[in-house]
Amino acid sequence: MKKEWENSEILKSARLMPHKARVPAEMHIGGVRIAPATVLAPMAGVTDTVFRRFIKNASMFTNPAEAGSAEATDVDTETTNEISGCGLIMTEFTSADGLSRMRETKRKRYLTYYEDEHPISAQLFGSNAETLADSARICQDAGFDLVDLNLGCPAKRVVACNGGSGLLRDLPRIQTIFEAVRKAVSIPFTVKFRMGWNDGNIVCVELAKMAEDCGLNAVALHARTREQGYSGDARWEWIAAVKDAVTIPVIGNGDIRTPEDAASMVEVTGCDAVMIGRAAPANPWIFRQIAQYTATKQATGVGRYDTPSDMDRYRMIRDYFERLMAEVAEHPEVLGPADSDLDKRLKRNHESAQRDAIGRMKQFASWFTHGVPGGATLRREIFEAKRGAQVIDRVEAFFNRREERNEAFVPEPDEDLDAAPAAWG
């Protein structure tokens, strides 16, 4: 590792310096093309099929370099991830133990996706090599393009089962898991991990080399330790160290909140792609902005991107809520518990899914309205709502009041991103 990385202040300065690098237009993980080289991170309780498709829709953009040409990107054409600005989406992390034991009907809650989500990766966590291998086969049979192993989740309940980042203290077991899963599936196999358990146990370089030796197709590093959780700065120098150590693609993760951050990470680490986690719920346009920034920088030398208007924000939050309620109405098993005895329990499942959906609306509204003048009022009104329709009505009333008062929408910095749920590996 280069000596200059030893000073974190130098790294912070590098993030702020003008940069020449851009987020790559594409990368390949095994035989799967990821274009552009941006990834929506797996987040428990967040990246279900509704949120994934919502992010894809919010990320639609037109490449100014192609404007006026016969082949100009148009949101009315066939939707691809390349047009959406988010090259790869990932599921919520799913327990391999639970997945291998549950009935086929119940798996729908965890493995539901739509054709327009490709390429899509299924993320698993667990500590038993045989069970993980079996669950990886289930994901492959379900049509996922990739399967990913979670070695990053810092949640106590996950670590207590020796899953997620808990496994970082047992590299021999990780190797056994790598070998078993690699043997079980033919689709690309990747791993997302943290630097190590704590500063006295940094294993990311050794782990990345092991992954490559075991035939994995790519690695993603969240540049924090398990002990850090989500506090402090992500230490991008370790992403650079991993990139120097292996030849398979390296995906960088940690503290990317703006397109400039994404370009800076690529420049200072040499990573092949960037992964966005906590910034996505707070700014669903982040992938579109990165794509716009990259395209304009390539075309003109100066990166630019759109800033959402008040109406954009209103449409965004309403669109998400409506998508969520429509999904619940059509497929209650996606959010609520599934059961094969539908004649007796369909109503209970639907009611449970409704409650879960409203809970997610409230969670989403909390992220979105952070720092917004009057946002506390909207959050309170949403938290008091009992039905999905009430939530939508209160959102509409809030933005109508803002429009009547001609209030500017000037959000404050997203300090709350550092207070993410512990399950967001």
φ, ψ for residue 37 (rounded to 5)?
A: -85, 60
Closest CA to 62 of 54, 71, 50, 51: 71
Dihedral over alpha carbons 391, 397, 398, 404 (to 10 degrees): 170
Q: What is the 3-state secondary structure (H, E, C) of 38-70?
A: EEECCCCCCCCHHHHHHHHHHCCCCCHHHCCCC
Exposure string (b/e) for 301-327, b if CB count within 10 Å is 16 or more?
eebebeebeeeebbebbeebbebbbeb
Q: Which residues are catalytic?
A: 153
Pair of tokens at residue 281: 């719920």
Q: Which long-range contacts (CB under 8 A, 24 or more apart) does 25-30 make?
A: 25/294, 26/82, 26/87, 27/87, 27/249, 27/272, 27/273, 28/249, 29/88, 29/146, 29/188, 29/190, 29/217, 29/218, 29/249, 30/146, 30/187, 30/188, 30/217, 30/218
Amino acid found at 270? G
Distance CA 201, CA 171 (A): 11
CA distance 46 to 284: 12
